[in-house]
């Protein structure tokens, strides 16, 4: 392995890191909103919403992400109505097409995770809140949502990691994020191993940090499961 070449590669790949992170963060943030809406639609008890969410999840989980990216990036431009609409400046950009596809895709997976979290909230907690006289929205905000997030977080963490990996597909529609730059360097230099090791290490580092971050948030959100802190000077009374 050529260290000089590897460090050169590292510098060019790190310059592509912001784009990878931007794609992942935007897609996850927008996708979580859509996922919550889909999960609520599934649980709303309204047949139309329920079936729409079911069909959405079925279609987006049953087809490859790359096909979804191609459908949005290449497919939509087939229609003159899209090309002349006000959305065209957005849909023309590969960046926004990638974000849109990643977001729609992650929403399908995340909605099932959130739905599981919402279903896991014990009914007694909701009843207690109702008995305290909380209105529906407040119950959702103060009781259901915090408990559901706590439950769904490990699963959501896995989904975030797979989203970071999925941003690599954006390179196929010309976006020069880490994998895109790596592929370019490989095809220019034919030195596969070095580039693969460096690019892989960057992705591993991102995912490692993400895992730690999620573990920290999980720790922070579950004070009830921690060991109680030892309180000093409390037992004075028992001394004599």
Partner 1 sequence: MNSPAFFDIISFGPDGWGHALTAGAWMTVLIALAGFAIGSFIGIFGAWAKISGGPVPRVIAEAYTTILRGIPDLLVIYLFYFGGSAVVTAVGQFFGAEGFVSFPGFVAGALAVSVTSGAQQTEVFRGAFRAVHPGELEAATACGMGRVLKFRRITAPLTLRHALPGLGNVWQVVLKESALVSVTGVVELLRQAQIGAGSTSLPFDFYFIAAMIYLAISTVSGAFLNASERWFSRGVRRG
Question: Between 43 and 172, whose beta carbon lies closer to partner 1?
Answer: 172
Q: Does residue 59 interact with partner 1 by CB under 8 A? A: yes
Nearer to partner 1, 51 or 128 (CB): 51
Q: By C-beta, is 147 or 167 nearer to partner 1?
A: 167
Asked if residue 137 lies in contact with residue 58, where contact means CB atoms within 8 angstroms, the answer is: no
Alpha helix ranges (H) inside the chain = 3-14, 17-43, 47-62, 65-70, 80-83, 88-91, 94-119, 123-131, 136-139, 145-166, 178-189, 192-221
Q: Is 204 in the site for partner 1 (CB under 8 A)?
A: yes
Q: How far is the CB of 227 from partner 1 (least distance, A)?
A: 27
70 binds partner 1 (CB under 8 A): yes
Among residues 100, 91, 85, 98, the alpha carbon closest in space to that of 34 is found at 100
How far from 151 is each of 156, 164, 188, CA to CA, in Å? 9, 22, 47
Beta carbons of 64 and 72 less than 8 angstroms apart: no
37 belongs to the binding site for partner 1 (CB under 8 A): no
Q: Does 51 bind partner 1 (CB under 8 A)?
A: no
- Name the minimum Å distance from CB 67 to partner 1: 5
Query: Total residues contacting partner 1 (rule CB under 8 A)?
Result: 40
Subset of 75-104 contacting partner 1 (CB under 8 A): 75-79
Should residue 213 be labelled a site residue for partner 1 when binding is judged by CB under 8 A? no
215 binds partner 1 (CB under 8 A): no
For partner 1, the binding residue among 51, 208, 216, 219 (CB under 8 A) is 208
Residue burial 22-56, b: 16+ Cβ < 10 Å; e: rest: ebbebbbebbbebbbebbbbbeeeeeebeeebeeb
CA distance 187 to 84: 37
Q: Which region, judged by CB under 8 A, interacts with partner 1, from 91-99, 128-136, 145-153, 159-167?
A: 159-167
Whole-angstrom CA distances from 188 to 11, 183, 195 are 16, 9, 11
Site of interaction with partner 1 (CB under 8 A): 58-59, 62-68, 70-71, 74-79, 161, 165-169, 171-172, 179, 182-183, 186-187, 190, 192-193, 196, 199-200, 203-204, 207-208
């Amino acid at each position: 392995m050529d260290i000089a070449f590897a460090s050169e590669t590292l510098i060019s790949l790190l310059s592509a890191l912001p784009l990878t992170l931007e794609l992942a963060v935007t897609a996850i943030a927008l996708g979580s909103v859509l996922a919550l809406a889909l999960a609520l639609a599934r649980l709303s008890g309204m047949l139309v919403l329920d079936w729409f969410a079911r069909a959405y999840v079925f279609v987006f989980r049953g087809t490859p992400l790359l096909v979804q990216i191609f459908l949005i990036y290449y497919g939509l431009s087939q229609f003159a109505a899209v090309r002349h609409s006000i959305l065209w400046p957005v849909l023309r950009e590969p960046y926004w097409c990638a974000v849109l596809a990643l977001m729609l895709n992650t929403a399908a997976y995340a909605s099932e995770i959130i739905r599981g979290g919402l279903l896991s909230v014990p009914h007694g907690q909701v009843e207690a809140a109702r008995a305290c006289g909380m209105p529906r929205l407040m119950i959702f905000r103060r009781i259901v949502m915090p408990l559901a997030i706590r439950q769904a977080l490990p699963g959501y963490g896995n989904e975030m990691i797979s989203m970071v990996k999925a941003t690599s597909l954006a390179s196929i529609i010309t976006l020069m994020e880490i994998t895109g730059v790596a592929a370019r360097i490989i095809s220019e230099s034919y030195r596969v191993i070095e580039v693969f090791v460096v690019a892989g290490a960057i992705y591993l580092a991102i995912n490692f940090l993400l895992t730690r971050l999620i573990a920290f948030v999980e720790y922070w959100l579950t004070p009830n499961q921690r060991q109680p802190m030892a309180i000093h000077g409390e037992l004075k009374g028992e001394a004599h």
